[in-house]
Every structure is written in C-alpha cells, then in structure tokens.
Amino acid sequence: MIHLGILLRMAEQTHVHDPLRFEQVPEEVASRLTAAMISDSLDAAGVRGQVMSARIAPVTSGSRAVGRARTVCFEPSGADSDDPYAAAMAFIDTLGPGSFAVVATGEDERTAYWGELFSAAAKGHAAAGTVCDGPVRDVAKVRAVGYDLWAPSFRPLDYRARMHVVSMAEPVTCGGVPVAPGDLVFGDEDGVVVVPQVAEAEVVARAIERASAESSVLEELLGGASLHEVWERWHVL
C-alpha cells in the first residue's frame, strides 16, 4: 500500500507540473464526433479493446464529454483512517480544463466512489467529465449539478473504511479498458471509448473523415437510396 503522504505529494506534483492539465481537445473532435464514430475508427486503425464495458452508462440522459484522462485507482481497505478522503480530494484538485477523471475500482461494487460533492468540485475545476467502473451515488443531485458522469450502477454506501486510493496519475484498467494519463476519453449516450495517445492522430483523422461521410450517407438514405448502394459507395454504416 502506498502511504497517504506519498499520494498527496504525487497529486501536488501533478497539479503543478503536468502539461496535460491545460491541454485542450481539438474543437472538431469535441463538436463533431461520437463514441460510435471513434469506436469504428479505432477498429479501422487496428486498435481493439478500447470501448468500456456495456454496463457503463451516463447518469444523465444526453451526457457528452471529451477530455484527457486523469486517473485514480481504488482498492479494498480493511481499516479506517483519520483522513479517509484526503487522497481523493487531492486527486480532484488536480483536475482542470480538458481533464476527464477516470476512476478505476476493479469493477468492485461494494461501495460508491463518486457523488454530488465530487461532481461539484470537478465541475468547478472545469473538468470535462468522469467515468467510474464502480457504483456512484447522489444521482439526483449529480444531475442537478449538471456534471457528466458515467458509471455501471448506483449505491448509497460510502467507501470510508472499505476502499481507499492506492494510485493516481498512473496507468489503470477501467471498465475493462487500459487507460494511461493523457489518453483521449470520449463519452456520450452510447458509452465510453478511450483512444491511446500513440494512435490518436490516426484515429481522430479517420473519425473526422467518417463524420463527413456519414452526413452524405444520411442524406442519401433519407432520399430513398438503396442501403446496399450507399454501402458500396461509402463503406459507412
């Protein structure tokens, strides 16, 4: 187990020195693309296994967010501490414009890991959104805050003395997908997809090209064109 003091120092260093803190996602990516387009473009680029579990869904209908992964990992804990939320609060304080919080729990469902106040703080830091592969809580209040959050389930139980933060700003597995700090994370009503940095340029270029093609495909199909003919012409469905 990593000592709390080490985690807090890691958070402070990340907050001050990490250049990804203020790196913005290109506007064309944020405004034109969808999770499905990015998923198809990952397939076309030969990058598989980047779509999170089908159980992970938006807490609020209509949610849509894209940003750079900021990671934190929880593991079981059998003991309480004097300051059980210090590491999680320090993590949230590393969030900034363009950040997408990725909360990895090993898909452990014994407690909730995120709620209203974490959402309010993240929104106050202008974070893009959060994905958690364990339960969340305060659902109605999160919706009222207007923060984009994805999770597999809900549970009111606090993580204190049950789970604790063991790492932050390190590679994790969330929703069955490997995520490294700085990876591009995109969430909408279809789910959450992650683009590794090494493949980002190719995948984004393919997705933008696909978005342009889909506009023409939609117009032709609504005009009565044969689905087979449209497929042969565009190879987009």
- Give me the residue spans of the domains in the chain: 4-197
Phi, psi for 23 (deg, rounded to 5): -75, 120
In this prediction, residues 108-134 reach a mean pLDDT of 97
| Strand 65-76 relative to strand 99-104, pairing | parallel
| Residue 6: band (very low, low, confident or very high) from pLDDT cuts 50, 70, 90 | very low
Biggest alpha carbon–alpha carbon distance for the chain? 67
Q: What is the mean pLDDT of residues 93-103?
A: 95
- Quote the percentage of the chain above a pLDDT of 70: 89
Give the model's pLDDT for residue 160. Answer: 93
Q: Which fold has domain 4-197?
A: Glucose Oxidase; domain 1 (3.50.30)
Are 82 and 4 in contact, with CB atoms under 8 Å apart?
no
Main-chain dihedrals φ then ψ at residue 18, nearest 5 degrees: -75, 120
Q: Is the pLDDT of residue 117 over 90?
A: yes
State the Cα angle at 32 between 29 and 38, rounded to 5°: 65
The predicted structure's pLDDT at residue 236: 79
Q: How confident is the model at residue 5 (pLDDT cuts 50, 70, 90)?
A: low
**What rounded mean pLDDT belongs to the chain?**
89
Q: pLDDT confidence of 17, banded at 50, 70, 90?
A: very low
Taking only the tens place, the pLDDT of each residue in 56-84 is: 999 999 999 999 999 999 999 978 888 89
Residue 66: its H or E element: strand 65-76
Whether the per-residue pLDDT at 7 is higher than 70: the answer is: no
Give me the pLDDT at residue 202, please: 96
Q: How many whole angstroms separate alpha carbon 46 and alpha carbon 42?
A: 6
